[in-house]
């Protein structure tokens, strides 16, 4: 009945196997369709955004977009030509040309110039909040992994960390308004944004740090303690150096989160538009931390919701989204690659 050359243990094509093959394909399609969706979003923004960011002439990068402040775009017809100019150039043209004095133009806010202040603001926000978050988070992780013994306090701390991780970012924003902006009277400022973002990302940093501290073998500590080192000496010389790469890599994911969040900084740190750069015109050095800044995610929100969609505004919208997505994607990729690399390197 069976074909004569069939091996006894060869898989038989029965219904169960056919079902299995079908199921594998269903699951495979589910997996890859997620990837396709992600790739579509990514691709669309990269494709459209790169038209703003890159140019066909040397140096192939639209430097104005990276170095200038946002301006209002004027679209008008002058001497029979259709022209688009930023606000400053438009005024200059009006001043230089008497014929252009009463020129009427269609205006689109934020659609000319660049996004440099937003990039600078985001960098400042990320640096400050990650410094705070790393200091607090790594210390907390050292306590939890090296010192803590089972007890009520430690249980409370662990429960708090778990719950903090689930609190919506907009609630952190409200909390930042209540505590930093109003109660401490810091107003809308870098400082308020730093602390709000740092507290939001704290659970991520603590969990990641604790994991890498725990992965340092117990023998390292015991060896050091047996040689007569104190606990702190042990941690400093025999635990932290080996855990640090892991802590830093995992914390990079925290950076991606801090850079990507909009809701917490909407009311604590971000301005829709600010002419001055953060380091300009400071009367006192403390003014630096008590000023609001522009930030990339908030800028995207502003340009995508407050101005209409058309061919003129589209450039700045996609351009900003592209730059922002690239920054965050770069951080995330670095983190993921480094982590995979570390996993292979350290095997105790």
Query: Which residues in 92-151 contact other proteins (CB under 8 A)?
Result: 135-136, 139-144, 146-148
Name the 3-class secondary structure at 319.
helix
Tell me if 310 contacts other proteins by CB under 8 A: no
Tell me if 328 contacts other proteins by CB under 8 A: yes
Binding mask 226-255 for other proteins (x = CB under 8 A): --x-xxx--------------------x--
Tell me if 45 contacts other proteins by CB under 8 A: yes
* C-beta of 85 vs 258, nearer to other proteins: 258
Go through 315-340 and write b for each residue having 16 or more CB atoms within 10 A of its CB, e for each that does not.
Answer: bbbbbbbbbbbebbeebbeebeebbe
Q: Which of 85, 118, 134, 177 binds other proteins (CB under 8 A)?
A: 177
CB of 132 to other proteins, least distance (A): 11
Tell me if 160 contacts other proteins by CB under 8 A: yes
* C-beta of 157 vs 244, nearer to other proteins: 157
Closest CA to 90 of 72, 108, 70: 72
Tell me if 64 contacts other proteins by CB under 8 A: no
Give the distance between the most distant pair of CA atoms in the chain: 100
Tell me if 161 contacts other proteins by CB under 8 A: yes
Beta bridge partners of 107: 74
The interface with other proteins within residues 9-38 (CB under 8 A) comprises 16-17, 19-20, 23-24, 26-28, 30-31, 33-35, 37-38
Element (H, E) at 86: strand 81-86
CB of 257 to other proteins, least distance (A): 8
CB count, 10 Å around CB of 34? Answer: 10
Select the span of 54-62, 70-78, 79-87, 327-335 touching other proteins (CB under 8 A).
327-335
Residues 6+ apart with CB under 8 A from 256: 328, 331, 332, 335
* C-beta of 119 vs 161, nearer to other proteins: 161
Residues 6+ apart with CB under 8 A from 321: 45, 49, 300, 304
CB count, 10 Å around CB of 96? Answer: 9
Q: Which of 47, 309, 341, 343 binds other proteins (CB under 8 A)?
A: 309
């Amino acid at each position: 009945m069976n074909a004569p050359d069939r091996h006894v243990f060869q898989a038989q094509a029965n219904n169960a196997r056919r079902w299995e093959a079908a199921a594998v394909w269903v699951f495979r399609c589910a997996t890859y369709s997620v990837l396709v969706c992600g790739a579509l979003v990514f691709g669309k923004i990269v494709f459209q955004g790169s038209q703003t960011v890159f140019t066909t002439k040397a140096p192939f990068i639209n430097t104005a977009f990276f170095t200038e402040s946002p301006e209002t775009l004027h679209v008008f017809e002058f001497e029979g030509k259709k022209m688009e100019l930023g606000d400053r150039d438009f005024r200059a043209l009006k001043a230089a040309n008497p014929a252009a004095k009463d020129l009427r133009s269609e205006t689109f806010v934020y659609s000319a110039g660049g996004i440099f202040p937003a990039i600078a603001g985001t960098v400042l926000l990320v640096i400050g909040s990650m410094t705070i978050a790393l200091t607090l988070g790594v210390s907390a992780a050292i306590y939890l992994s090296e010192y803590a013994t089972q007890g009520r306090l430690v249980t409370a701390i662990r429960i708090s960390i778990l719950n903090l991780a689930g609190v919506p970012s907009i609630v952190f924003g409200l909390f930042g308004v209540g505590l930093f902006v109003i109660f401490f009277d810091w107003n809308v400022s870098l400082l308020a944004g730093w602390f709000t973002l740092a507290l939001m990302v704290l659970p991520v940093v603590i969990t990641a740090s604790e994991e890498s501290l725990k992965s340092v073998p117990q023998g390292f500590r015991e060896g050091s303690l047996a040689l007569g080192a104190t606990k702190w000496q042990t941690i400093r010389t025999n635990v932290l150096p080996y855990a640090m790469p892991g802590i830093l890599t995992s914390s990079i994911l925290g950076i991606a989160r801090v850079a990507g969040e909009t809701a917490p900084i909407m009311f604590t740190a971000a301005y829709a538009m600010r002419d001055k750069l953060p380091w300009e015109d400071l009367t006192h050095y403390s003014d630096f931390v008590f000023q609001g800044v522009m930030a990339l995610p908030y800028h995207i929100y502003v340009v995508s919701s407050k101005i209409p969609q058309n061919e003129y505004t589209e450039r700045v919208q996609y351009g900003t989204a592209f730059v922002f997505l690239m920054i965050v994607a770069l951080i995330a990729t670095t983190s993921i690659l480094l982590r995979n690399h570390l996993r292979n390197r350290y095997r105790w």
